[in-house]
Structures are given as structure tokens and as C-alpha cells.
């Protein structure tokens, strides 16, 4: 995970973004997460790494990561959450509305065929993840 975090920071730096200690902490907090996080949860986790992180830095870093395709914003109910994407091509996220666990499905034949159809139609997608919100197996068992 640390290698992925360093790779993202290096790519952002090469794209002209300043990578400050607070931004590093926000990126690291997101990349360590095992489920989607709200901006407030990211702030709490990032402050454990770098106490000087502020909420404005969290939002600016989320905007930067979203613009560069490293994360997606997801709405679960009436709350917004953020999740990191490992995959930049068209793929699917299975998101548990109860525990917020995210399963990122790797591109398969279906997603490649869908991408080909989009290109054939001359359509350029702005978002490359499809979110499917429901209940994970663990949460279904505990109901």
C-alpha cells in the first residue's frame, strides 16, 4: 500500500501539484482504508498521521485526487463518501450501504465490451466506475 501511495504522490507531483505533509497524510489515510470514508473520517485518520491537517486540506486533496482519477465520490443514502480506485479503466464497485465495504471488481470481458461500445458510439466517459449499492454477504448474514 505504501508503494501505491508513493506512486500516486509522485504522479501528482509530476502533474504540477504541491504535495505537502498534510496532503501526504490525507492520501495515506485514504489508501489505508478498507471501506469508503466521509471527509470527516478522512480528517480524523489523517490527523493521526499529521496533526496539522485541516478539513479544507481534505476537501482540496479529494478534489485533486478526483480530478486525476484516483478516487470516486459515492453517495450512500444522503451522505457522501469517498473511495480510492485502483483501476482507471471502466470497472465496477460493489458498495455495502450498511458497513460501507467496497469491493472493486477488476475489468473483465463485460467492462471491456462496454468500453468498446462507448468508443464506437463516440462517447467519452467522465467517470470510469459504476457503483452498485446493496448489502455485502457479512451484513446479510447479520440481519
pLDDT of residue 88: 67
Check residues 42 and 111 and name the one with the higher pLDDT. 42
**What is the model's pTM?**
0.69
**Which residues does 83 contact at the CB level (< 8 Å), separation at least 6?**
33, 35, 36, 37, 71, 72, 74, 93, 95, 102
Sorted by where each starts, the structural domains of the chain and their CATH numbers stand as: 2-83 (1.10.10.10), 88-141 (3.30.1490.190)
Could you give the count of Cα atoms lying within 13 Å of 1 in the half-sphere of its Cβ? 10
Supply the angle between the helices 55-67 and 39-49 in degrees, to the nearest 10: 110
Q: Which of 117, 21, 129 is nearest to 72 (CA)?
A: 129
Q: Which of 53-57, 69-73, 121-125 has the lowest mean pLDDT?
A: 69-73
User: Residues annotated as binding site for Zn(2+)?
Assistant: 96, 99, 136, 139
Q: Which residues are annotated as a binding site?
A: 96, 99, 136, 139
Amino acid at each position: 500500500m505504501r508503494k501505491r501511495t508513493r506512486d500516486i504522490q509522485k504522479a501528482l507531483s509530476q502533474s504540477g501539484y504541491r504535495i505537502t505533509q498534510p496532503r501526504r497524510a490525507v492520501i495515506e489515510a485514504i489508501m489505508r482504508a478498507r471501506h469508503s470514508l466521509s471527509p470527516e473520517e478522512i480528517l480524523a485518520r489523517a490527523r493521526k498521521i499529521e496533526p496539522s491537517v485541516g478539513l479544507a486540506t481534505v476537501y482540496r486533496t479529494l478534489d485533486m485526487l478526483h480530478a486525476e482519477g484516483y478516487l470516486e465520490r459515492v453517495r450512500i443514502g444522503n451522505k457522501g463518501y469517498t473511495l480510492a480506485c485502483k483501476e482507471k479503466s471502466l470497472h465496477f464497485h460493489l458498495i455495502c450501504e450498511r458497513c460501507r465495504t467496497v469491493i472493486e471488481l477488476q475489468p473483465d470481458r463485460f467492462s471491456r465490451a462496454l468500453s468498446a461500445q462507448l468508443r464506437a458510439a463516440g462517447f467519452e466517459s467522465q467517470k470510469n466506475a459504476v457503483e452498485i449499492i446493496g448489502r455485502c454477504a457479512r451484513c446479510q448474514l447479520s440481519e
